[in-house]
A and B are shown apart, each in its own frame.
Chain A
């Protein structure tokens, strides 16, 4: 059964891929829509021209080439593609949990471009994801920023020019609190928030020495080309990049005290935290976060799922925004990622952010947090044509996405999706009759491709044996 599903997915992908190929460098003119520009307010009865993968023009009565696709946007809303600053979609594995510092591992090495949840996210108007390592270690693996080019090879997903990043994590998860003590097995260090701080301090102390070694070598080699280079350390290299401001830190955290701890250690070593991820109690220390210059990427309203989340409140986004923190609303879940528009609207409901402030939570703000704000996050001429057309205001619970473009190419279109269903049903029926999909003898279950669970991936320990 599952095998046939897998085959069906492969077939679906082939169809999608073929479609995408046909649609390279198309020109599209969306006419007479309400355009949520993010940076220049809401424009009514406005046209948006997508050409060569960019937003070519925004204005009234625009002209397009003869072969351009014209979409009547009357009654529709155009907004930038949503950016999810905390995702684990398309990662075959999330947590390298064996060590406390795993900065040598890269999510980029485990991308699965056939993850069907990517398509479901496109159908929610999402176009960019920050794929993060899990939260099993104080210093985790490297992130990958992708555009959701579902149906294309993984290499085409990589967001050009996105700032490299890394996952840090604090608190309960890295203490392995949910791991029971086992007789004869030594617990992984750290076991307390004291130890978490110490692990990070130790790693950056080593990284600072390592950087000095290389700096000295680079000076020395200018004078004597026969000087032996130091041995490369793949664990410390990313930390040196952090010290040099070339890699963003996305730090998973929940409670106020651990947020302050990381700010202190970053200040001491002279680097910046780019985002506090989740930051459930960020509202308690909003001024300290703002003073450090960090952003926060949070849930709209998850709380009480564990002790550390008991003080999480849905006013978090509003309080931190007013304190000057750049805030984004993320999913950390393939399910929630499909409705980030509503998650952003919740910051109007709880905390009375303005519509523009709330829209930024899922567009420009996460773009800034990923260093891609020159490319995406608003509807402006010259930016990437990553946009979605909604059949109503995206903050209305009654709205849904009609079409999603990435680099000007349609990657989701509801009408096309509906039109394809009879064909896919027929294909499924055919596949069910295929030999590999017949029931196996003795009632054995067919081999199943393993699926990631959908909720709160950060906390899931399924990578453990």
Chain B
């Protein structure tokens, strides 16, 4: 093992990888991981297999793979290669310190309707959260704005890069809508349950909020039609450009997905119905009650990004494991889902623990791994590039000394976009600085 590490140190020095968590993006190259167990996720596991990485992509996977000339080699004996994990429900890079440092918080714009707010604009590539997260094997996140009713557009990013542009896998991956809530969810970080003073007033207010969203989406449809019509026939009056409506056009046309934050049964049902009415392509984010609505989600083929596996059950008389079991129940019902921390950034590194807990309560171990790799890639429409160890995909790979989801396993090597990443973070640096203080 030590020789392996040494080899990697030499390897990284050769290619000039920075030795600290911040720095310029390391270059791509040709890398080979040999004699490793390869958990492809999309197909069978391969014992004593080889993975070849070239120019950012996975070039070859298998037992009968020749090592290209000039490749830098890692001995993977006793190690396992997994696809990097993906957390599809975060605000990674948009917030550094949520309390007491408002200057570092870029999650929620002013006002209720902000489809033009784009997460990719504000992602801070040098946030300490990014390195802290990736060294635990999470290579990608969906990072989403949070505010108002239409929060803005989420980005799907690699957790590596010196500029947002270098990080972006899909700069605008989904529109994010907060489905109007009937009651506060409680829990959460210093959160408080809000009890509506009057239920009918609250429902009426929710309906008004929904109408605001509906009107804007309808306007965007009309706007798109007007722009198209003008493009075909310049004799028509030229419609003014509108920076708020413009970004909505691909979403109202069902070309890109719309993420609805919805936890409770009524909210999830409402979101599914609303999406159907407006012919949107919905994804539920949150979904604590999704297990109660599984038949509807299955029938309408609506996927769920489950974020609440480690939350306390919503109702006092819910089974103690109601949320631990959520994923297994959705799996059994044939609902598409993936597992997310739902965290702003700091705790995203615990993604494996969320998946593992779902496996402790009924989900198969293989599905638990898929729930943080292939499934989120499929739900976010990037399975052609991410989520499994397959030829042609982006080389986002994690090499571990054990089961990917077990707490005691360690990450030994990490590749993002085919670039070898040094396993340091703000935390390893502070550890190194203080661990030997006498």
Residues of chain A having any CB pair with chain B under 8 Å: 5-6, 8-9, 12, 116-117, 119-120, 123, 172, 177-178, 283-284, 286-287, 301-311, 313-315, 318-319, 322, 334-335, 339, 342, 345-346, 348-351, 395-400, 417, 421, 424, 428, 442-445, 448, 451, 453-456, 459-460, 462
Contacts and interface: CB of A to CB of B under 8 A. Distances in A.
B365 interface: yes
Interface stretch (B112-120, B171-179, B185-193): B185-193
A308 B186 CA distance: 25
Given A123-B321, A339-B357, A424-B317, 18 more contacts: A123-B320, A287-B437, A305-B99, A308-B100, A310-B128, A334-B312, A345-B408, A349-B410, A397-B353, A397-B356, A397-B357, A398-B359, A398-B360, A399-B360, A400-B361, A443-B203, A445-B195, A445-B198
B352 interface: yes
A110 to B, nearest CB: 19
Interface stretch (B223-231, B241-249, B427-435): B427-435
A307 B408 contact: no
A443 B365 contact: no
B100 A178 contact: yes
Interface residues of B, number: 62
Given A315-B431, A335-B312, A397-B405, A301 B350 contact: yes
B191 A287 contact: no
B311 A319 contact: no
Contacts of B312: 117, 120, 334-335, 454
A313 B431 contact: yes
A436 to B, nearest CB: 16
Contact of A454 (B99, B187, B201, B431): B187
Given A287-B437, A305-B99, A319-B435, A397 B407 contact: yes
Contacts of A339: 310, 353, 357
Contact of A5 (B311, B315, B437, B438): B315
Closest 9 CB pairs of A and B: A443-B200, A397-B356, A454-B187, A306-B99, A315-B431, A345-B407, A304-B346, A313-B427, A8-B317
A448 B199 CA distance: 13
Contacts of A424: 317
Contact of B200 (A123, A319, A348, A442): A442
A453 B190 contact: yes
B188 A348 contact: no
B126 to A, nearest CB: 14
B193 to A, nearest CB: 6
Contact of A304 (B128, B316, B357): B128
Contacts of A322: 435
A180 B257 CA distance: 41
A283 B192 contact: no
B347 interface: yes
Contact of A459 (B190, B200, B427): B190
A445 B186 contact: no
A417 B345 CA distance: 35
B98 A305 contact: yes
Contacts of A444: 198-199
A454 B408 contact: no
Max count, chain A CB within 10 A of own CB: residue among B191, B349, B359 = B191
Nearest to A446: B199
Contacts of A302: 346-347
B362 to A, nearest CB: 10
A23 to B, nearest CB: 19
Contacts of A305: 97-99, 189, 346
Contacts of B98: 305-306
B207 interface: no
A455 B435 contact: no
Interface string B311-330: 11101110111000000000
Given A301-B347, A453-B190, A335 B310 contact: yes
Max count, chain B CB within 10 A of own CB: residue among A307, A349, A453, A456 = A453
A14 to B, nearest CB: 13
A8 B353 CA distance: 32
Contact of B100 (A116, A303, A306): A306
A318 B431 CA distance: 10
Contacts of A462: 192
A397 B407 CA distance: 7
Contacts of B352: 397
Nearest to B191: A453
Contact of B201 (A172, A283, A443): A443
Nearest to A424: B317
Contacts of B438: 287
A456 B189 contact: yes
B256 interface: no
Nearest to A308: B100
A394 to B, nearest CB: 11
B406 A396 contact: yes
A443 B356 contact: no
B2 interface: no
Contacts of B347: 301-302
B175 to A, nearest CB: 28
B187 A335 contact: yes
Contacts of B59: none
Nearest to A351: B431
Contacts of B189: 305, 455-456
B101 A116 contact: no
Nearest to A303: B346
B430 A311 contact: yes
Given A172-B100, A397-B406, A456 B190 contact: yes
Contacts of B281: none
